[in-house]
With several copies, the nearest count.
Chain A
Amino acid sequence: MRSAELKKGIPAKASKCVTSPDLSVNVAGIKMKNPVMTASGTFGYGEEFKDIIDLNRLGGIIVKGVSARPIKGNPPPRIWETPAGMLNAIGLENPGVDVFINEKLPILRSYDTAVIVNIFGYSLEEYVAVTERLDGIPGIAGLEVNISCPNVKAGGIVFGTNVKAASELLTALRKATKLPLIAKLSPNVTDITEFARAAEGSGCDGLSLINTLLGMAIDVRCRKPRLANVTGGLSGPAIKPVAVRMVWQVARAVKLPIIGMGGIMTPEDALEFILAGATAIAVGTGNFINPRATLDIADGLASHLKREGIPSVRDLIGQVIVA
């Protein structure tokens, strides 16, 4: 069904026949059977999805953000639907790292998938504490550092929007663990490549992008914000073009492997991120819309490779053709 014009863009190997395409990737030293992961905060600690999909088929699970101490989270309402997206202000509710290790991790360990722990804190010390606590615990493939938190001790400056603060944080965490360290970047910045370079300079092994865009919605009848927290994070297909752009910019700026995310719902969405330069991708809000989205994407990637005669998904990383 493709027209002649379309075919022009496709390299010669497209004619080869590929029966069992290779989906495996290695991100930040973490080997995965396929590049499909779940984004932090949208898949709990995995167990909630075990009645819906076979977790063994996932490349990796990035768990809900974990902190040194339990966090209560924000008052409701915490979410609001927007055109092709949603706002959330959960407030990083979590039971704390000890409960995670004792109650959640044992279940996750029983699955054949890479477990990446998303961590955060409200000061450099809190970040270091949770990192040290997780270091050496079996069953953890790597840490993803959510740097989009305000440093309460340092007057609320957000680590993720200040290059110096981000560098200091990541350098400290690098010393605190031997686990693969993935910095999760905020899109709410003028130049995301500065942060990518800072992460590279601090010894990180990989990057995750993007976190949510800061947004707000107002109920015009009662004149109140739709979220009790006033502002929240925008996610979903609405932000996909911004995410693809940032992955593309960062892939050209640094050598670190990238986990791309932001509005991924279909195999085509995943391919956009991979062509833009992502080694792996994560599904976030998409899990709410189609709880099978991750597996549908893994299957769709395999079919795409077969159809196009491409032996490995790795052959597509960063392969967007830009004149």
Chain B
Amino acid sequence: MPPTKLHQATVVLHQEAGRGYFRIVLKAPGLAKQARPGQFVMLRVSENQDPILARPFGIAAVKSKQYIELFYRVVGRGTALLATVERDAVLQVQGPLGNGFPAPEKGTTPLLVAGGSGFPPLLYFALSMRHPLYMFLGARDKECLPPLRAIKSCREQAEKVYIATDDGSAGTRGFVTDGLAAFLDSRNDRESFVIYACGPRSMMAAVSKLAAERGISCFVSMEERMACGLGVCMGCSVAVRTGGYKRVCKEGPVFKSSDIDWSEQVVLPALHRK
């Protein structure tokens, strides 16, 4: 049998990371060894049957091929319960799940665009590559930006980190996409760019449009409610442009932005983003 995707992970570190985020480091060697940037895990946050479903979180880092790091915000009951988990607790984790980001080709310049709490998988992605890259971090306000620790990692890795907040409380005022558009339009090496975005659907739709208009290839990491994370329940489907649906947990979470049917109305409120 191939390496299993079901793990009992020990919490080796769990702390507030600032700006309302928690940082949790799990010892799960079997999982860490298989993980690639853009993949995610399903974490059981309760041993009881309420809440019953595991919660999906993007992998933010892999350390010493033994540990995985996650960042999350408390947005509802599941994350509130997770926040009470103590060091040394053992959690059931499935992963790594999903396809992950396609490795950037040689000579390309990755532009990583994170909205709200969409940064964790992009952080891992940034840390995993040697390409010169640019990062764009957007949030509603300063308090919703990634924690300083994460921004610091970004700065070390990127040529430049552009920050935007809707209210101007940090970085430039406006949407992250405004900054991205200005950047793209100010540069003449546009053909080397590849965009990787993760954040609220509305933001990714805007990024996708921007990229399409300029002929830049763009990948987006989608979110949907999930039950199994394994591709069996068909619960996490998103509409694609060729008609029909694709599973975020299996064919995704990373899709070519041009494959997604952005017109499809979605009720899912992304409380924790933006």
**Is B227's CB within 8 Å of the partner chain A?**
yes
Interfacial chain A residues near B49, Cβ < 8 Å: 83-84, 236-238, 265, 289
**Is B268's CB within 8 Å of the partner chain A?**
yes
A233 → chain B, closest Cβ, in Å?
12
Main SS at interface, chain B: loop
**Is A2's CB within 8 Å of the partner chain B?**
yes
Q: Are A221 and B94 in contact (CB under 8 A)?
A: no
Q: Are B245 and A76 in contact (CB under 8 A)?
A: yes
Main SS at interface, chain A: loop
Interfacial chain B residues near A4, Cβ < 8 Å: 202, 274
Counting chain A CB atoms within 10 Å of each CB, which of B3, B230, B238, B271 scores highest?
B230
A90 → chain B, closest Cβ, in Å?
5
Q: Which of B48-90 contact A (CB under 8 A)?
A: 49-54
Counting chain B CB atoms within 10 Å of each CB, which of A44, A79, A80, A84 scores highest?
A79
Q: Are B52 and A90 in contact (CB under 8 A)?
A: no
Interfacial chain B residues near A50, Cβ < 8 Å: 1-2
Q: Which of A222, A237, A265, A288 contacts B267 (CB 8 A)?
A: A222
A72 vs B267: C-alpha distance when bound (angstroms) = 19
Interfacial chain B residues near A76, Cβ < 8 Å: 224-225, 236-239, 245, 264, 266, 268
Q: Are B52 and A6 in contact (CB under 8 A)?
A: no
A288 vs B158: C-alpha distance when bound (angstroms) = 38
A51 vs B232: C-alpha distance when bound (angstroms) = 13
**Is B171's CB within 8 Å of the partner chain A?**
no
Interfacial chain A residues near B210, Cβ < 8 Å: none
Interfacial chain B residues near A289, Cβ < 8 Å: 44, 49, 52-54
A263 → chain B, closest Cβ, in Å?
9
Q: Are B52 and A236 in contact (CB under 8 A)?
A: yes
A136 vs B268: C-alpha distance when bound (angstroms) = 44
1/0 contact trace for B210-249 toward A, CB 8 Å?
0000000000000011111111111111110001110000
**Is B27's CB within 8 Å of the partner chain A?**
no
Interfacial chain A residues near B94, Cβ < 8 Å: 52, 291
Q: Using a Cβ–Cβ cut-off of 8 Å, how many residues does chain A contribute to the interface with B?
A: 51
Contacts known (A4-B202, A54-B1, A78-B234); A291 close to B267, Cβ less than 8 A: no
**Is A77's CB within 8 Å of the partner chain B?**
yes
Q: Which of B19-61 contact A (CB under 8 A)?
A: 44, 49-54
Residue of A nearest to B116 (CB): A3
A286 vs B243: C-alpha distance when bound (angstroms) = 31
Interfacial chain A residues near B268, Cβ < 8 Å: 5, 76-77
Interfacial chain A residues near B51, Cβ < 8 Å: 81
Contacts known (A41-B233, A73-B237, A79-B233); A51 close to B3, Cβ less than 8 A: yes
A93 vs B233: C-alpha distance when bound (angstroms) = 10
**Is B273's CB within 8 Å of the partner chain A?**
yes
Q: Are B6 and A52 in contact (CB under 8 A)?
A: yes
Q: Which of A244-273 contact B (CB under 8 A)?
A: 265
A44 vs B92: C-alpha distance when bound (angstroms) = 22
**Is A12's CB within 8 Å of the partner chain B?**
no
Q: Are B245 and A93 in contact (CB under 8 A)?
A: yes
Contacts known (A44-B231, A73-B237, A79-B227); A2 close to B52, Cβ less than 8 A: no
Residue of A nearest to B239 (CB): A75
Counting chain A CB atoms within 10 Å of each CB, which of B6, B92, B201, B264 scores highest?
B6
**Is B200's CB within 8 Å of the partner chain A?**
yes
Counting chain B CB atoms within 10 Å of each CB, which of A41, A72, A81, A224 scores highest?
A81
Residue of A nearest to B76 (CB): A81
**Is B270's CB within 8 Å of the partner chain A?**
yes
Interfacial chain B residues near A226, Cβ < 8 Å: 267
Interfacial chain B residues near A54, Cβ < 8 Å: 1
**Is B4's CB within 8 Å of the partner chain A?**
yes
Interfacial chain A residues near B53, Cβ < 8 Å: 81, 86, 288-289
A73 vs B54: C-alpha distance when bound (angstroms) = 24
**Is B269's CB within 8 Å of the partner chain A?**
yes
Q: Which of B2, B5, B233, B269 contacts A42 (CB 8 A)?
A: B233
Interfacial chain A residues near B227, Cβ < 8 Å: 79, 86, 88, 285, 288
**Is A150's CB within 8 Å of the partner chain B?**
no
Contacts known (A76-B238, A93-B237, A219-B269); A287 close to B228, Cβ less than 8 A: yes
A5 vs B232: C-alpha distance when bound (angstroms) = 28
1/0 contact trace for A38-82 toward B, CB 8 Å?
000111100011111010000000001000000011011111110
Q: Are A290 and B1 in contact (CB under 8 A)?
A: no
Known: A4-B202, A43-B232. 10 other contacts (CB 8 A): A51-B1, A72-B244, A76-B239, A76-B268, A77-B225, A88-B235, A228-B267, A238-B49, A289-B52, A290-B92
9 contacts between A and B (CB under 8 A): A4-B202, A41-B233, A73-B245, A75-B264, A76-B224, A287-B232, A288-B54, A288-B233, A291-B6
Residues on B close to A: CB < 8 A? Answer: 1-6, 44, 49-54, 92, 94, 200-202, 224-239, 243-245, 250, 264-271, 273-274
